[in-house]
Amino acid sequence: MNRALRIIFSRYGIIAIILLLVLGVIALAQTREQTPLDGAESGTEGSEGSEGEATSEAFTEDDGFATEGCEGDDCYAGEELPQEAVDRAMDFTEAWLNPDGYGPDGWYDSIVPYLTTENADLMQGVDPVSVPATEVAGEPAADGQKVAVPLDTGTLTLTMTEGSNNWTGSDWLVSAIDWEQS
């Protein structure tokens, strides 16, 4: 028994134990390469690739959310935004322009009720000094899910979506902000 323990705890025994552990981890990592996306385990159709290799057919199956032939921003072009969504976009624009001269925290607090949670996270820490305009210069124009607001130095385009966030109940929210300098 002492002789076996001496061999195990010698430098060669410890090296052998470490080598076995490394080989075990590598073996486990290789078996983890097979994911449900390759279809081999989940049984999805169109996954005739080799084991552990996902085919493009498995990724293009209809998930029930995309509309047929819909690509890019034209997916909702046929739908018109209700006036309340356009009004909400204008309310956001007024707060975004920072007419009260708030600092970063006050400005963020004024715009966050109009934003989706994801967009609010992106706006955290933005300095309102970076807002490139000072006043609205025309009437907003709705096109699909987007509202274009002409400002004194360019056009603010807001993508609107129905939803709720941590600050507002269910309402129209800004899910994307795009600025085009004129």
Task: Name the pTM for this structure.
Answer: 0.58
Q: Which residues on adjacent β-strands are paired with residue 174?
A: 115, 160
**Nearest CA-CA partner of 88 in 182, 165, 179:** 165
- The backbone torsions φ and ψ at residue 59, rounded to the nearest 5 degrees and listed phi first, read -85, -20
Cα diameter, the chain: 91
Which pLDDT tens digit goes with each residue over 128-155?
998 999 999 999 999 999 999 999 999 9
**pLDDT for the residue 25:** 86
Distance set, CA 8 to CA 19, 23, 114, 142, 165 (Å): 13, 18, 66, 76, 60
Task: Name the more confident of 2 and 44.
Answer: 2
Which pLDDT tens digit goes with each residue over 47-93?
444 444 444 444 444 444 444 444 555 454 456 889 999 999 999 99
**pLDDT for the residue 48:** 44
Distance set, CA 50 to CA 9, 29, 54, 60 (Å): 43, 18, 8, 18
Q: Using alpha carbons only, give the angle 116, 119, 167 rounded to the nearest 5 degrees.
A: 40
- In angstroms, rounded to a whole number, what is the distance separating the alpha carbons of residues 138 and 156? 11
**pLDDT for the residue 93:** 96
Which pLDDT tens digit goes with each residue over 12-60?
888 989 999 999 888 877 766 554 444 444 444 444 444 444 444 444 4
